[in-house]
Every structure is written in C-alpha cells, then in structure tokens.
Amino acid sequence: MDKQIQVQDLTFNLFITETTIQQRVKELGEEIAIQFKDQNPLFIGILNGALIFTADLIRACPIASEVTFMKVQSYAGLQSTGTVTTQIGLQQDIKGRSIILVEDIIDTGATLYHLLPDLQKLAPRSISLVSLLVKPTALKYPLVIDYKGFEIPDKFVIGYGLDYNEQARNLSGIYQLKK
Ligand code: IMP
Ligand code: MG
C-alpha cells in the first residue's frame, strides 16, 4: 500500500490501513449482529461514499438482513454545501422495519440530520446510524451515532469509498490530506 499518493492537485498520506479498517468493520458487523438478530434489519447505504463500507459491513454481519441504497449529496469539492438533495430515493416500504443507515463519514452531520425526518415519516420500527468515520469536532447537528468505526480529526480524507472530486473511492486504505 502506497504511503503517499497524489490525486489531481493534492497530496495525501496513508492514514488508516486496509488491515485496520477490515478489523474494525468485522467488530462493527458482529456488534450489529447481536443487536439485530431475528429482526431482519434493512441496511440503507448512502451512496456514493458508503458503497464499499456497506458491502463489507453486511458480509461482516452474520445474520439475516437486507440491503438497499439511497443517494443524497451535500458536498462539492472539499466542503459541505449545507443543503442536501436526494438523487435516488428509497425503492421499498420500510414501515415496521429495523433500519440501519450506513454512512462512510459524518462530518457536519447535515446529511443525516436532514434525511432522518423523511425516513421517520415512513414509520420504521427503528433507525440506527452507523458511520465508518466521524469527525467529532466538525459535527454541527445533534445526531446520535449508534456505531462509529473511527473518530478522526477534522481533516479531509479519501479512499475506501470516500472521494476527492469523484476520484480515489477505489483505494483500499484511507488517506489524509497532507498539509
Ligand atoms: P455531512 O453532511 O457534513 O456530515 O457530510 C457527509 C458527507 O460528506 C459524507 O457522506 C461524505 O460523502 C462527505 N464528506 C465529509 N467529509 C469528507 C471527507 O473528509 N472526505 C470526503 N468526503 C467527505
Ligand atoms: Mg457520503
């Protein structure tokens, strides 16, 4: 795994290795399995960022479950825009279901904070939040995050689903912007 990479105009340093990510994903999957055993939870991955994390998390969670995706967007380049638009909505009925919303990263919290009331209107049994990464010092909205992979500093990161101008989602590790 490269220790340093160049993406367009920016340089990034290796921050969380593939091995460390996979170990943590396994722990999260096992924790979720204990809580949701016999509930057939529906994982909802938030595209595009959570694509890879969702795929790994459901395989690390050894219980009956279902998976679907939604696409929402709040980011352009390096910064949150503060508004959230839904580009692909839910395709199925979630009434009475145990929902596990899967995010790659919670930064300001705007995306989930604005999405949650829309999902709550659909009368699920419960909605739990899981995010691989959380930037606690960037959080601006009150969110209860049920499962966190790693708490990280408020610096821009890419890889394992996270992008810089749509690039670098395919990296197996997570890389942090070099200052
Ligand atoms: P929030 O709405 O501010 O919490 O931001 C959530 C979304 O912004 C995430 O799902 C990511 O898609 C994107 N995002 C936030 N921080 C980063 C980052 O450091 N790198 C890449 N994408 C990010
Ligand atoms: Mg995202």
Tens-place pLDDT, residues 65-117:
999 999 987 755 556 555 678 888 898 999 999 999 999 999 999 889 989 98
Residue 171 CA to ligand 2 center (angstroms) comes to: 16
Average pLDDT over residues 165-174: 97
Instruction: Confirm whether 109 is domain-assigned.
Output: yes
Question: Phi and psi at residue 122, in whole multiples of 5°?
Answer: -85, 10
What predicted TM-score, i.e. pTM, was given to this entire model? 0.94
Domain with 146 in it: what CATH number?
3.40.50.2020
pLDDT tens sequence across 37-48: 999 999 999 999
Instruction: Confirm whether 1 is domain-assigned.
Output: no
Between CA 124 and CA 159 the distance in angstroms is 32
- Using pLDDT thresholds of 50, 70 and 90, give the confidence band for residue 127: very high
Q: Which of 7, 73, 103, 104 to mutate to test the pocket of ligand 1 (most atoms within 8 A of CB)?
A: 104
Tokens linked to 37: 């055993």
Between CA 5 and CA 3 the distance in angstroms is 7
Q: What type of residue is 38?
A: D
Residue 144 CA to ligand 2 center (angstroms) comes to: 17
Atom of ligand 1 nearest to the CA of 106: 4
Question: Phi and psi at residue 129, in whole multiples of 5°?
Answer: -110, 135
Q: Which ligand is nearest to the CA of 139?
A: 1
Question: Phi and psi at residue 7, in whole multiples of 5°?
Answer: -125, 115
pLDDT score of 133: 98
Instruction: Confirm whether 30 is domain-assigned.
Output: yes
Instruction: Confirm whether 87 is domain-assigned.
Output: yes
Number of domains in the chain: 1
Tell the residue nearest (CA) to atom 9 of ligand 1. 105
Structural domain including 153 reads: 17-170
Instruction: Confirm whether 43 is domain-assigned.
Output: yes
Between CA 96 and CA 90 the distance in angstroms is 15
State percent of the chain over pLDDT 70.
94
Instruction: Confirm whether 148 is domain-assigned.
Output: yes
Instruction: Confirm whether 179 is domain-assigned.
Output: no
Between CA 164 and CA 157 the distance in angstroms is 8
Is the link from the previous residue into 48 a cis peptide, with omega within 30 of 0? yes
Residues annotated as catalytic are: 107
Residue 127 CA to ligand 2 center (angstroms) comes to: 17
Tokens linked to 177: 């912007």
> Residues enclosing ligand 1, CB less than 6 A?
46, 49, 74-75, 80, 103-111, 156-158, 162-163
